[in-house]
Amino acid sequence: MKRTWEFVLSIIGVSIAAIFLIVTIIAAVYLNSIDLKEMMDHSLMTDSEFSSSEVDMSIKLFMGILWAGIISLFIALAGGLIAIFLLKGGKAKGAGILLIITGILTIFHVWPLIFFIIPGIMCLVRKPRETVEVIE
């Protein structure tokens, strides 16, 4: 059975995950290169209602979420590529389960999630057409 739509949507999901991964890594490298704490302390010297420890904690939380997003995108990229190869090999049920798990693991990024969950469901739901022989 041809699974063209599942294949195309999976490729789109992997492509979007790769683009998001590149952009997120560039953002993480940039944010690690500048000193956010010093910049925030300078802004705290002016009129601010946040303490230095609150600002430090929020910066650490933001960087943790950023690195969690990078890890989830690496998993999405690997899972999506494996699922594409499974689809090409004719193992639609395994590919569908892997695509759904990969979609759930990319909870930080909505577009890859959509492009992994939809083909995953399609792989599990679609049944091959039965051929009917006509007896004359």
Q: Is the dihedral of CA 44, 45, 47, 49 positive or negative?
A: positive
DSSP 8-state assignment for residue 1: -
Give the amino acid at 102. T
- Per-residue pLDDT in tens (0 to 9) along the chain, 136 residues: 688 899 999 999 999 999 999 999 998 888 877 776 676 666 666 656 767 677 778 888 988 999 999 999 999 999 999 999 999 998 989 999 999 999 998 888 888 899 999 999 999 998 777 777 888 7
